[in-house]
Every structure is written in structure tokens, then in C-alpha cells.
């Protein structure tokens, strides 16, 4: 299939560019995403019915009629709904005072003056200069979208306030504010763009501060709906978003971009494939684009050397550590209403060394606490505790594979988790008592899933140097190659969205952006019904349903069309509702018949769909996905599973079981013991039943049984699949015992 445009990366910038070119210009667009889930920093991940948003905590400028909202409505065909957050959507907590900002500029001003009456003049100057600096930076952004004469006029106007825009946030505060507490308070939002006030450009801070003066919004159903609804518009125009596609190189012909070379991570052997188009748009960041996907030597290397030098001089920002928390019950019982909480242990935002040391020692002093389930209106309640962290603190584990970073790394993450939970407990008494499960990500995790160097997901740092330098993109020195996303405009969700619109405008020519916004304001949205089925997706009809246990159903679905090859251990993505997809391991796939084992215990959208499924129920399936496959090794293999975590192991056993293979399976009761209900071949099996004594089974958890196994862990491959708690506990235990080859793929 031929395409008009190839977009690298399915973050909001790339999807915006693709959606606008498809909807406004009717172009056939192919979006290539390395991860198995589209959306970049807007995607969510799930564990047992709970879901967390990795990068979207709230968004401003989504009031009806604002440009970002108009773009969102256009790209999603009106299917992306934004929930208005409480007017007091944030809470800033300092050692001896706190403030609840409000989505009203005059009221916000009044609250600041009430707290700091002696600083009334400085507070008024703050709001005035915030507006000036915001206008200055927006004029700079707009130059990349407008015809040349208009851009030149904008540059002339912009020069009048350049000094204000390019000073640091701390410089402005030091010159205008006497009270150290007020200085700290006015800088509180620096975490929204990842650069502390001594290093950040005042214009960027101004942009973020004013961005939220009209309130904050969050996608109904969670941030994953951003990508899924934008994707529908792309598909309606004959385009496609393909996941599991790692772009290795941008192909050039006589100095012009003509396509990409990629690795198909979904297929056996991960073959390389070439996709061709006369236009290529990169949404994965300027650094990766110019230093990894394009030549660094020869004529092209010399042409791009100034750009690479500029990127290197601008540096790499910090990343973050996040504790993802699942609650046992509704956190409304401790006063949670959907507002976020920013906690600060002192008034010194720039003391990064002390902050990092405290974090690593389990004594976190600052963090951002968010409640995605409340904001999205979801039944399984969750929280996220985010704090900045430098990649250097985790560098010693950089070369170790995810899941195999060892006991020291596990212990560090446990200390960090304890410290972040203690931090939350200080501002929300009772928080710890509600915690059912916690999982920690580090800058290494961010780098693994997003491919951002050093996990720096904000891209090029928001420093004065960035604003003084020659602006990167959307146009590049390579004909036919454009940049999209936050490196071309500003940081964050809306910055990347507008960067995506700017890139689409550049692709369409001198009047591209005005043409796009005219179409957006007119609401000319593609018909999203009767969407053609893209490659790797199939119409699926349920042909058989078996109730194996009270909470596990076996579904067999017939797929329309020819199904390509797959590998044991991969999974299928099932459409279970309106733009709601859920991932389930493939038990078998023969002659167009897909067999799945699905738990209905969580009660979420997937559970409801599966409970209601009967022969004749029709949906859609995407497959194959994932890289959780048997390693090419002659080592002994141990398989550890709980519940439907057994599913990916069944085809591995069918493909080639070995005499020395051992399965350790756990469940709560004999009624839930899938090993006694399936006809699939199993290796030597130890059954662990935790809540009752059953003849022939061990009474206890699989993790308890792991401590009793006498295996040579240094020569054993261990495969893990099941509940998040089991995987975390088993991983920690196995690392302590010396196991260094663990395989798992949570999704």
C-alpha cells in the first residue's frame, strides 16, 4: 500500500500532524510507533482492571472555542470528551502554608495578596509580566506557521520584549519579590515542564502559568482516548497507525526524504521493512531524529552538523520517578476530589542534589500527587506520585535489561516507593491504609518505553538558551522531512498538539496553517463511521464461549481474512467498547480461530464485554502484538503463573515442551485451578492454592513455593505472568537468589 506521508511516532504531536493531513488534505498517512500501544506520553497502562496515565495529569486551554479544543474536536470527530476539573484543581503544600490556586485570575491574585499583603505590588507585576512574556513566546511560535511577510512582522514586534522572555524564572523572582516563600510559590508549576526556576526560561514558565488560569481539563475515560479517537480520523481517510514498528533510518534520495527503514517487532525474527512516501514527519524529538535516524557523515552529515551541534549545546533535561498506586477503595474517604497536590519540603526548588539524595534514601521531600481514576470517572481507583529525578542516579543499571536489573535496583525502587507513600501520607492522612499495590517507574523505564534519551520526556529543556537559539522545525534542512511535537513549539500536551498543527501547516505550504485552522473552525470532520480495516486488524466473531471458573471465560473467535504468522507468547488486542481496547494473551491461533482466556474479575470494560459475549457477538481484533516469546536457549525453564497468566505459556508448551520444564501455578481456590480444567499439554506442575487445602496441591502462594525450590538459578530462565503483586514479589525474590534471566511483559 502506498502512502502520501509517513509519521514517525504516535505521540500527540505525530497524531495531530497525521490527523490534520488526513482530514484537511485527504492525504493517506502511515503512523509508525515503536511501542505496542499508541499515544506516546498520552498512553495509559493497565494492571488488573486499574489504569494509570503516564504523561497526562491535566490540560489547560480546552475550554470550548479555544484553538487546542477546536483541534481536539476536529481530530477526534467530537468523540474525545473533556471533563472539567474542580476550579481549585491544584493544591500547593509548603512546610508552613498552602495555597489552592483557582481558575480565575482576579481571585487567584486576591488569594496571593491575602497570603502576602506586603508583596501586593510584586504580585500585580507578576501577572502583568506573565502576560507580556506569554505573548512574546507565542509570537515566536506563530512565526513557524505563517507566510513569510506575516512572520517578519511578528519578529519585529517580538524584539520589544525579548529580554523579559529570555531571562530565567529565578532572575525575575529575585529582582521583583522579597519574600522567599512567595518566590517559591510562584515557581511551583515548574514540574509541568521539567526545568527548575534557576534554569528555566521565564517565558516558558509564563506560558504554563497563564495556560491554567482558565482552568484544567482531563479526558473522560483516561488519556488513552486521545490517541484512539485521533486514530479513528486517520483510518477514516485510509491511513493507519501501526504499532511495534521501530524506525531505524530515514531514507534519502538525492538529499530528499523518501521513506523509512523499520524493524517489525511483531513478526517472527523481527524482519526489516521499508515504507516509502514523499513526505516524512518525525514526532520523536529533534535529538533522536538528527543523531540516530539521519547520516552523521558525508554530505548530509555536514549539512546537518550545525543542527546537531545546536541540539547538543541545548542539553538534555531531567526525567522523573513515578509511584503508580492502586487503592482498595474510593479515596474520597480521605478527602480526594480529583484535585492534584504538589508537596514541597522547603522553598528551594533548585537544590536538586539534596532532593535526589533524599529520594534515593527513601525520604522524598517533594512530589506531585494525581488521581487519574477520579478525573476520568473510572471505578478502580488509582493515584500517581511523580517527582523529578536525574538519569545519572540510575546510570549504573542502564545496560541491564528491563526486568533483569538485579536486587540492588529492586531495593532502590522499594525505598523510593516507601518514601513517596510517606510523602502522600503527610498531606493525606489515611493514604497508606488505602494502598493495595504500588509500582515504581524510573528514568530507565521512561527511556525503555518512550525511547527518549535518558528518559527526558519533555524533550529539549525549556531554558533561555532554547529560546535564543535558532528555532528547530517544523521545517528541516532535508527536503521532504519535517519535525512535529514539543521540540518544534512548546512542552507538554498542548505544546505538542500545536507543534503537530504547525508541522501539518508546513507540509501543506505557505498558507498551510491558516488553511488548517479555517477547516478546523468550520468543523469539516471526516465521517468516522464505516472505517476501513487497516492492516493487522480483523473483524472477529465469537463462535464459542466456555465458563472455566466463575471469573474466567474461554473465548474462541473467528477472524475474517488471512491471518499472518505469530509467535507463542504474543497477545491480541480486543475492541471491548467505544474506543476501548484490552490486551489478552493468545492461547492458540489456527485456521483463523483465535482462542483467549479472559478474567472477568476486574469488572471493567473488558470484563463487561466478555461476560456479555455470546456466539455471534462481533468485534475487532488487532494482532499479533508483544515480544514475550520463548528465548533461544537450552537452559532449564521455570514458568511462574497465577490465574489467566497461564495463557501465554500454553502455546509455548505446545510449541516444544522440554523434560526439565517446570510450571509453578497459583490460584486462590480449587474452583479457580485452571490446570485441572484445560486439555492443553502442561509440563511437570506444582499447584499452589492459597485459600484452602487441596489434595495434591501446595497450600500457599507461589512466592512461598519459590523460596523452597532448589534450582541452579544462574542457569535457569524464569518466565513470569500473572497478578502485578506476584510478579513484583517474585522478581525481587528471584533477584535475591541470583536469578539473572527473567522474562515478563506486563501490559
For residue 528, pLDDT over 70 is answered with no
The CA–CA distances, whole Å, from 495 to 11, 133, 219 equal 12, 16, 17
pLDDT of residue 182: 98
Which helix (H) or strand (E) segment holds residue 53: the answer is: strand 50-53
pLDDT of residue 147: 57
9 with 38: CB under 8 angstroms?
no
For residue 473, pLDDT over 90 is answered with no
For residue 418, pLDDT over 70 is answered with yes
The residue ranking higher by pLDDT, 402 or 272, is 272
Q: Rounded to whole angstroms, how far apart are CA atoms 598 and 647?
A: 9
pLDDT digits (tens, 9 = 90+) for 241-295: 999 999 999 999 999 999 999 999 999 889 999 999 999 999 999 999 999 999 9
552 with 591: CB under 8 angstroms?
no
Q: What is the mean pLDDT of the chain?
A: 92
Spatial CB neighbours of 568, under 8 Å, sequence gap ≥ 6? 586, 629, 630, 648, 651, 652, 654, 655
For residue 108, pLDDT over 60 is answered with yes
Q: Rounded to whole angstroms, how far apart are CA atoms 614 and 612?
A: 7
DSSP string, 111-153: HHHHH-GGGHHHHHHHHHHHHHHHHHHHHHHHHTTS-HHHHHH
Instruction: Report percent pLDDT > 70 for the chain.
Output: 96
Q: Indicate the burial class of 333 (C-beta count within 10 angstroms; 0-12, 13-18, 19 or more).
A: exposed
pLDDT digits (tens, 9 = 90+) for 438-450: 999 999 999 988 8
Topology, domain 636-744: Rossmann fold (3.40.50)
For residue 13, pLDDT over 60 is answered with yes
pLDDT of residue 137: 86
Instruction: Report percent pLDDT > 90 for the chain.
Output: 80
pLDDT band, residue 160 (cuts 50/70/90): low
Q: Which of helix, strand or coil describes residue 329?
A: coil
Q: Which of helix, strand or coil describes residue 235?
A: helix
Domain boundaries, the chain: 5-83+219-315+458-522, 104-213, 319-438, 537-625, 636-744
Among 318, 408, 393, 397, smallest CA distance to 357 is for 393
For residue 618, pLDDT over 80 is answered with yes
Please confirm whether the linkage preceding 383 is cis (ω < 30° from 0).
no
pLDDT of residue 34: 95
pLDDT digits (tens, 9 = 90+) for 704-742: 999 999 999 999 999 999 998 899 999 999 999 999 899
pLDDT digits (tens, 9 = 90+) for 363-373: 999 999 999 99
pLDDT of residue 158: 57
- Which range has the worst mean pLDDT, 141-145, 194-198, 476-480? 141-145
Architecture of the domain made up of 5-83+219-315+458-522: 3-Layer(bba) Sandwich (3.50)
User: What is the DSSP code (8-state) at residue 60?
Assistant: S
pLDDT of residue 524: 58
Q: Identify the CATH assignment for 537-625 out of 2.40.30.10, 2.40.50.140, 1.20.1250.20, 3.10.20.30.
A: 2.40.30.10
Which helix (H) or strand (E) segment holds residue 248: the answer is: strand 245-253
pLDDT digits (tens, 9 = 90+) for 340-370: 999 999 999 999 999 999 999 999 999 999 9
Amino acid at each position: 500500500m502506498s502512502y502520501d506521508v509517513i509519521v514517525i511516532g504516535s505521540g500527540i504531536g505525530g497524531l495531530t500532524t497525521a490527523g490534520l493531513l488526513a482530514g484537511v488534505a485527504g492525504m493517506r498517512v502511515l503512523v509508525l510507533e515503536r511501542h505496542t500501544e499508541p499515544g506516546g506520553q498520552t498512553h495509559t497502562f493497565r494492571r488488573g482492571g486499574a489504569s494509570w496515565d503516564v504523561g497526562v495529569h491535566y490540560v489547560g486551554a480546552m475550554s470550548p472555542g479555544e484553538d487546542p479544543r477546536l483541534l481536539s474536536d476536529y481530530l477526534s470527530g467530537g468523540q474525545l470528551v473533556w471533563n472539567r476539573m474542580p476550579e481549585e484543581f491544584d493544591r500547593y503544600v509548603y512546610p508552613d502554608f498552602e495555597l489552592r490556586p483557582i481558575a480565575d485570575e482576579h481571585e487567584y491574585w486576591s488569594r496571593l495578596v491575602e497570603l502576602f499583603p506586603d508583596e501586593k505590588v510584586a504580585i500585580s507585576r507578576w501577572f502583568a509580566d506573565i502576560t507580556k512574556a506569554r505573548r512574546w513566546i507565542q509570537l515566536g511560535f506563530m512565526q513557524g506557521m505563517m507566510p513569510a511577510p506575516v512572520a517578519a512582522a511578528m519578529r519585529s514586534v517580538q524584539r520589544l520584549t525579548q529580554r523579559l522572555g529570555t531571562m530565567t524564572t529565578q532572575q525575575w523572582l529575585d529582582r521583583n519579590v522579597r519574600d522567599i516563600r512567595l518566590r517559591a510559590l510562584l515557581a511551583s508549576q515548574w514540574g509541568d515542564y521539567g526545568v527548575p526556576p534557576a534554569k528555566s526560561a521565564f517565558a516558558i514558565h509564563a506560558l504554563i502559568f497563564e495556560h491554567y488560569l482558565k482552568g484544567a481539563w482531563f479526558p473522560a475515560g483516561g488519556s488513552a482516548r486521545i490517541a484512539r479517537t485521533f486514530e479513528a480520523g486517520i483510518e477514516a481517510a485510509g491511513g493507519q497507525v501501526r504499532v511495534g514498528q521501530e524506525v531505524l533510518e530515514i531514507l534519502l534520495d538525492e538529499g530528499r526524504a523518501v521513506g523509512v527503514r523499520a524493524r517489525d517487532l511483531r513478526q517472527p525474527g523481527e524482519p526489516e521493512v521499508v515504507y516509502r512516501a514523499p513526505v516524512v514527519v518525525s514526532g520523536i524529538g529533534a535529538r533522536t531524529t538528527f543523531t540516530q535516524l539521519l547520516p552523521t557523515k558525508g554530505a548530509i552529515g555536514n549539512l546537518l552538523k550545525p543542527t546537531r551541534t545546536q541540539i547538543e549545546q541545548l542539553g538534555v533535561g531531567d526525567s522523573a520517578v513515578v509511584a503508580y498506586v492502586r487503592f482498595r477503595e474510593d479515596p474520597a474517604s480521605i478527602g480526594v476530589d480529583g484535585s492534584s497536590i504538589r508537596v514541597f519540603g522547603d522553598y528551594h526548588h533548585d537544590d536538586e542534589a539534596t532532593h535526589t539524595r533524599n529520594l534515593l534514601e527513601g525520604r522524598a521531600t517533594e512530589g506531585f500527587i494525581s488521581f487519574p481514576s477520579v478525573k476520568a470517572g473510572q471505578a478502580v481507583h488509582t493515584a500517581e506520585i511523580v517527582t523529578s529525578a536525574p538519569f545519572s542516579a540510575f546510570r549504573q543499571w542502564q545496560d541491564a535489561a528491563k526486568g533483569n536489573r538485579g536486587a540492588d535496583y529492586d531495593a532502590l525502587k522499594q525505598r523510593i516507593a516507601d518514601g513517596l507513600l510517606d510523602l502522600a501520607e503527610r498531606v493525606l492522612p489515611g493514604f497508606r491504609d488505602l494502598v493495595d499495590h504500588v509500582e515504581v517507574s524510573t528514568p530507565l523505564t521512561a527511556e525503555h518505553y518512550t525511547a527518549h534519551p535518558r528518559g527526558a520526556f519533555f524533550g529539549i529543556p525549556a531554558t533561555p538558551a532554547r529560546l535564543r537559539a535558532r528555532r528547530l522545525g517544523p521545517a528541516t534542512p532535508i527536503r521532504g522531512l519535517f519535525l512535529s511535537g514539543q521540540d518544534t513549539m512548546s512542552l507538554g500536551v498542548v505544546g505538542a498538539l500545536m507543534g503537530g498543527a504547525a508541522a501539518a501547516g508546513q507540509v501543506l505550504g505557505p498558507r498551510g496553517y491558516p488553511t488548517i485552522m479555517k477547516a478546523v473552525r468550520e468543523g469539516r470532520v471526516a465521517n468516522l463511521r464505516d472505517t476501513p480495516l487497516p492492516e493487522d486488524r480483523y473483524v472477529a466473531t465469537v463462535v464459542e464461549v466456555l465458563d472455566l471458573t466463575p471469573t474466567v471465560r474461554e473465548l474462541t473467535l473467528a477472524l475474517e481474512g488471512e491471518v499472518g504468522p505469530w509467535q507463542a507468547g504474543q497477545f491480541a488486542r480486543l475492541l471491548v467498547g467505544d474506543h476501548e481496547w484490552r490486551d489478552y494473551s493468545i492461547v492458540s491461533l489456527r485456521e483463523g480461530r483465535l482462542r483467549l482466556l479472559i478474567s472477568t474479575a476486574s469488572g471493567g470494560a473488558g470484563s463487561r464485554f466478555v461476560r456479555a459475549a455470546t456466539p455471534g457477538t462481533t468485534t475487532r481484533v488487532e494482532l499479533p502484538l508483544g515480544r514475550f516469546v520463548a528465548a533461544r536457549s537450552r537452559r532449564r525453564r521455570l514458568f511462574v503463573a497465577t490465574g489467566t497468566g497461564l495463557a501465554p505459556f500454553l502455546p509455548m508448551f505446545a510449541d516444544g515442551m522440554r523434560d526439565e520444564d517446570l510450571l509453578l501455578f497459583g490460584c486462590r481456590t480449587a474452583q479457580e485451578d485452571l490446570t485441572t480444567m484445560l486439555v492443553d499439554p502442561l509440563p511437570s506442575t506444582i499447584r499452589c492454592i492459597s485459600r484452602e487445602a487441596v489434595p495434591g496441591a501446595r497450600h500457599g502462594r507461589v512466592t512461598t513455593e519459590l523460596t523452597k525450590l532448589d534450582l541452579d538459578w544462574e542457569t535457569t530462565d524464569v518466565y513470569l505472568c500473572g497478578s502485578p503483586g506476584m510478579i513484583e514479589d517474585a522478581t525481587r525474590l528471584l533477584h535475591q537468589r541470583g536469578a539473572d534471566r527473567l522474562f515478563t511483559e506486563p501490559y
